[in-house]
């Protein structure tokens, strides 16, 4: 078991993000905080994600992001929390990138749930140890009223990166990830997983020699999202 204190220093900004709220949540994520779905079929053509407009934005390692839906449709990774115009991570508007990736757009729209940020992440190779230094929780529900649905995230893996996996850990009583709860979700092209990334500390390790690409979408929990997860679970 890894010693988290070797990788993270306390206090960590993630520890202050709320865990317990009154938002509506889907039952499928209640026990473990994640649900692995059946692989995407058919797969997404490389031309839909390699040629998008990527921005320099660091999250979870050496990353770039291609925004496909944002708060206002502009190519801006920060949009939802713009000072003076703060919005929860939903009601996403398609950007110019969306015109280049109709199959990715269809993957989001078929769910039938409200979505916020939609983007393709490009993650450079990073070892397990390097990844652990980037493990964090997301502030998905900032500005999201508690009488509405809890925002969670879906991943669709777009490339094969041998040895890649997502690391998930529950938060321990000290406010840091509890290594005894570690789960590893093996990644290959077409893996789909929905993760409560505000609850679980998470990061992806990519020990392969090539860039990893994945679609990440913020979805608001709702009966429609619950039904879709149920219909697509392994």
User: Contacts with Fe ion: how many residues (CB under 5 A)?
Assistant: 1
Binders in 147-176 for Fe ion, by CB under 5 A: none
Contact region for Fe ion (CB under 5 A) — 44-52, 66-74, 133-141, 158-166?
A: 133-141
Binders in 187-206 for Fe ion, by CB under 5 A: none
d(CA 79, CA 65): 13
CA dihedral sign of residues 41, 62, 115, 228: positive
Using the rule CB under 5 A, is 220 a contact of Fe ion?
no
Are the beta carbons of 196 and 183 closer than 8 angstroms? Answer: no
CA angle 195, 81, 224 (to 5 degrees): 40
Question: Nearest approach, Cβ of 47 to Fe ion (angstroms)?
Answer: 27
Question: Nearest approach, Cβ of 90 to Fe ion (angstroms)?
Answer: 17
| Residue 89 or 138 having the CB closest to Fe ion | 138
The binder of Fe ion chosen from 48, 89, 138, 220 (CB under 5 A): 138
Question: Nearest approach, Cβ of 45 to Fe ion (angstroms)?
Answer: 26
| Residue 95 or 140 having the CB closest to Fe ion | 140
d(CA 96, CA 72): 11
d(CA 68, CA 52): 9
Query: Which phi-psi region, left, alpha or beta, contains residue 175 (left: φ > 0; alpha: ψ -120 to 50)?
Result: left
- CA torsion, points 109, 136, 95, 92, in degrees to nearest 10? 50
Cα–Cα distances in angstroms (integers) from residue 136 to residues 161, 178, 203, in the given order? 22, 12, 7
| Residue 138 or 196 having the CB closest to Fe ion | 138
| Residue 100 or 197 having the CB closest to Fe ion | 197
Question: Nearest approach, Cβ of 41 to Fe ion (angstroms)?
Answer: 26
d(CA 39, CA 55): 28
| Residue 152 or 226 having the CB closest to Fe ion | 152
Question: Nearest approach, Cβ of 24 to Fe ion (angstroms)?
Answer: 21
Which residues contribute to the site for Fe ion (CB under 5 A)?
138
């Amino acid at each position: 078991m890894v010693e988290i204190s070797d990788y993270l220093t306390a206090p960590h900004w993630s520890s202050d993000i709320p865990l317990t709220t009154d938002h509506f949540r889907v039952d499928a994520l209640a026990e473990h905080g994640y649900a692995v779905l059946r692989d995407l079929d058919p797969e997404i053509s490389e031309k839909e994600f390699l040629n998008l407009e990527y921005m320099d934005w660091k999250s979870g390692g050496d990353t770039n992001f291609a925004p496909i839906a944002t708060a206002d449709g502009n190519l801006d990774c920060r949009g939802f929390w713009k000072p003076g115009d703060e919005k929860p991570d939903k009601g996403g508007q398609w950007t110019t990138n969306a015109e280049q990736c109709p199959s990715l757009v269809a993957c989001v729209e078929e769910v039938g749930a409200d979505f916020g940020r939609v983007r393709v992440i490009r993650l450079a190779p990073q070892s397990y140890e390097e990844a652990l230094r980037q493990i964090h929780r997301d502030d998905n529900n900032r500005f999201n009223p508690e009488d509405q649905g809890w925002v969670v995230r879906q991943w669709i893996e777009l490339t094969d990166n041998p040895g890649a996996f997502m690391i998930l850990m529950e938060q321990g009583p000290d406010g840091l990830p509890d290594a005894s709860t570690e789960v590893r979700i093996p990644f290959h092209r077409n893996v789909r997983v929905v993760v409560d990334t505000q609850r679980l500390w998470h990061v992806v390790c990519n020990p392969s020699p090539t860039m990893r690409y994945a679609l990440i979408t913020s979805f608001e929990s709702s009966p429609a999202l619950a039904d879709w997860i149920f219909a697509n679970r392994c």
